[in-house]
Amino acid sequence: MVNLGGIRKEVSIELVPQAQVGDYVIVHVGHAIGMIDPDEAERTLALFGEMSAMAATESAA
């Protein structure tokens, strides 16, 4: 089970069997296809949050 921006979804970890609860994985079409460093994942998620906030601001204008 992964959390994709607040949406919980079941994905296959067959390609990354070493993945554990709390790890960050890259997901493509229902499959975890790789693992990502936690620091890099946090930076990427922060950027996605900034982009979402900017898009919301532009939509409201």
Q: Domain extents for the chain?
A: 2-60
pLDDT (0 to 100) of residue 5? 77
pLDDT (0 to 100) of residue 36? 96
Phi, psi (degrees; rounded to nearest 5) at 49 = -65, -45
CATH architecture of residue range(s) 2-60: Roll (2.30)
- All residue ranges of the chain with pLDDT < 70 are none
Structure tokens at 24: 């960050």
The H-assigned helical ranges of 1-61 are 38-60
Cβ count within 10 A of residue 24: 19
pLDDT (0 to 100) of residue 46? 93
The pTM (predicted TM-score) of the whole model is 0.77
